[in-house]
Structure 1
Amino acid sequence: MAIPPLIPIIKNELGITNAQAGLLMTSLLLPYALTQVPAGYFGDKIGRKRLVVISILGYSLASSLMVFARQYWHLISVRALYGVFADLYYAPSTALISEVYKEKKGSALGVFMIGPPVGSAIAPAIVVPIALALEWRYSFVIISLMSALIGIALIHGVKGEVRHVERVNFAIPKNVFRLSLMNFIALAAFFGMLTFLPDFFVDKGRSIEEASFYFSLLSIVGIFGSIAGGTIYDRVGKGSLFSALFFNMFLSFLLVKTTYPILVLPLGLFFYSVGPIVTAYTSEHATPENLGTVMGFVNMMGFFGATIGPYFIGLLIDRVGYEMAFYSISGMYLVSLLIFMFEWK
């Protein structure tokens, strides 16, 4: 998430369009999505911790290569390589947590998933000052070193595999396809919003520092939203997903209508609550033998949506402007809500 707060600077230096800026997220998310199912399967097969370590060290090295990028296609290539390693992370991690914590998996996943909002919150505070003082490429060197340290800590902090699956089953039940479609649309809206939210505020007359602050604020509140979402799921089940999707639809509409920055506070709560809820709900559609595969499939479909979302929103911004493009995000949450209502029945 270092890219969104840097988009205004990158666009200015390279002279790229909003659609091309959206592709900087798409180029990462497409390879990330493509191998989610194999990542879940091989995590079950060779060891989930081992695959997570390979992922963290691999994408840390890949991201550091951004310091050598001088042309637009260089950026696209580095982001794609990052995505190849990043795709090994999610499925084995969430499968392991869901299996170990069982009845409390929502709460555990809620704590696990504070990672994205924490990362999104601190990213502008790290990358924007470096970009303004030195150059934006050096920002990626710093965050790569930070993430590499986490991989090294995991090697030494957790000895061996926490759980080993004896019989691995590469099977995807039919009842997860509608859930996967809902996740596809919801993550398209999520990443479309995240990619262009700082640029949206800049377009409305805010400075890049102020826009980055609002982006961080959304993510800081999202830390509490992630924990709350998982905890509420453990208590009320899938009804929590209905509420999260509804309020994301309503609040994203209200943000565009009013452009009040204060709305990032309630939006952040519901914005980041969807992840742990969907992940916990997905785990209930699988058995221990195919848990990694099912988690990988639903996340794969979600990140196909995440791949399309930033480019689609960027294209709409170029064609019809920021306001109409951001209204479409609210529309996507509405469609995902309707799909989930059929799933609920």
Structure 2
Amino acid sequence: MRKKLLLLLSLGWIFNYAHRMAIPPLIPIIKAELGINNAQAGLLMTSLLLPYALIQVPAGYLGDRFGRKKLVVVSILGYSFASAFIIFAKDYWELLTIRALYGIFAGLYYAPATALISDIYKEKKGSALGVFMVGPPIGSGIAPLIVVPIALTLEWRYSFLILSIMSAIIGIALLISIKGEVHEIKHARLKIPKHVIGLSIMNFIGLAAFFGMLTFLPDFFVNKGRSLGEASLYFSILSIVGIIGSLTGGVIYDKLKKKSLLLSLSFNTVLSFLLAKTALPLIVPILGLFFYSVGPIVTAYTAEQATDENKGAVMGFVNMMGFFGATLGPYLLGILIDNLSYEKAFYSIPLMYLIALSIIGIEKRNVIRT
């Protein structure tokens, strides 16, 4: 039962990301049709990430209070139907509104799902969450492979309808095949301990860098003279290689604990700088190994900062702070691109990773002293 649940939760997370990351490879097409600039294109990510962030703590508490599996099913079916409405979007503002609706339902997923996995797998939570966190790289990797051919053959809005049908099937399978609640909490508590503040700030900065990179990476390569198809391929390679990074990150966390986070942030700093400087496609697969390793490491570490009664709330709070950063990242990077060159704007990404690394490094020394 544990393996079936982990599989279905991971599939739901994969499509959660496929829906949100369907926008980046379509940005050149959407900008041309709707006549928007890069900052407005960045808002197409911000519009879903802001409500996504705001719903995190309530989602964690509601999952603890009323049932984590139940809330996960509501999330999958909700974000599937919401994303399907994009087929009716006639202009930029309608598209922005629908993406915000999608963000609300998508935001109900992470906290209850990760809390449930950490409770079930206990001492093996890092490895299990490493499997779960293949959602971002796989979801991001398959997104352009699905949406770009549909957009070029039919029309880009139909891409979201196809994705919605696929993800709704996962939600129905989870509802039918896993009976009842797997792990119930007797006394749910909405309590956020002070010692997770540093981790939350680090996650804010790290996810700002992460989503800024993901949002504009295809357009970055197009600007450097690559075709849309080639740029989409690089985007997919980053994410597909990231599957290995996610799985490895979870396993390494079980062995190295917090040191694994320092190593991952260090490599992301160096590699994102080299990509901004050279735009060499060869850097992309190497970056993918470390780019996606941060997710399972942060998730497993966060789970260890909470008790059974407030685990959902803590997971939600750290993720909420991260997605406040993710909300700002694409928009601010879009502004930098509009006012600077792509290369200069992309230097902000390694800078953010360096700041995140510094925060965790300082926090580590403080922990040792105490």
Give the equivalent residue in structure 1 for 2:355: 335
Measured in 2, the distance between the counterparts of 1:280 and 1:119 equals 20
The unaligned stretches of length 5 or more in structure 2 are 1-20, 366-370
C-alpha displacement at 1:99, in angstroms? 1.2
C-alpha displacement at 1:112, in angstroms? 0.5
- Report the TM-score, using the length of structure 2 for normalisation: 0.93
Measured in 2, the distance between the counterparts of 1:342 and 1:102 equals 28
Residue deviations 1:140-187, cap 9 Å, x none? 000011110110110112111110001111111000001100000000
1:222 equivalent among 242, 246, 253: 242
C-alpha displacement at 1:284, in angstroms? 1.2
Are positions 1:49 and 2:69 aligned together?
Answer: yes
Measured in 1, the distance between the counterparts of 2:336 and 2:170 equals 38
Equivalent residue letter for 1:120: S
Give the equivalent residue in structure 1 for 2:46: 26
1:266 equivalent among 286, 295, 313: 286
Residue deviations 1:232-289, cap 9 Å, x none? 0001111000010000010000011111101111100100000000011111111001
Are positions 1:164 and 2:184 aligned together?
Answer: yes
Measured in 2, the distance between the counterparts of 1:315 and 1:321 equals 11
C-alpha displacement at 1:52, in angstroms? 0.3
Are positions 1:68 and 2:88 aligned together?
Answer: yes
Measured in 2, the distance between the counterparts of 1:271 and 1:142 equals 28
Alignment of structure 1 residues 199-278 onto 2, 5 Å: 199-278=219-298
Task: Report SS of the residue matched to 2:137.
Answer: helix
Task: Report SS of the residue matched to 2:183.
Answer: coil
RMSD of aligned residue pairs (Cα, Å): 0.6
Give the equivalent residue in structure 2 for 1:15: 35
Measured in 2, the distance between the counterparts of 1:64 and 1:320 equals 35
Measured in 2, the distance between the counterparts of 1:333 and 1:157 equals 41
The 4+ residue runs of structure 1 with deviation greater than 2 A are none
Alignment of structure 1 residues 167-182 onto 2, 5 Å: 167-182=187-202
Task: Report SS of the residue matched to 1:22.
Answer: helix
Measured in 1, the distance between the counterparts of 2:244 and 2:180 equals 31
1:88 equivalent among 104, 108, 130: 108
Equivalent residue letter for 1:289: E
Residue deviations 1:24-60, cap 9 Å, x none? 0000000000010010000000000000000000000
Residue deviations 1:209-230, cap 9 Å, x none? 0000000000000101000000
C-alpha displacement at 1:205, in angstroms? 0.2
Are positions 1:99 and 2:114 aligned together?
Answer: no
Residue deviations 1:31-90, cap 9 Å, x none? 000010010000000000000000000000000000011111011000000001011000
Measured in 2, the distance between the counterparts of 1:222 and 1:153 equals 26
C-alpha displacement at 1:299, in angstroms? 0.2
Measured in 1, the distance between the counterparts of 2:77 and 2:85 equals 13
Equivalent residue letter for 1:136: W
- Report the TM-score, using the length of structure 1 for normalisation: 0.99
Equivalent residue letter for 1:85: F
Measured in 2, the distance between the counterparts of 1:115 and 1:333 equals 22
1:189 equivalent among 201, 205, 209: 209
The unaligned stretches of length 5 or more in structure 1 are none
Identity within the alignment, %: 71
Equivalent residue letter for 2:242: G
Give the equivalent residue in structure 2 for 1:59: 79
Moved more, 92-101 or 179-188: 92-101
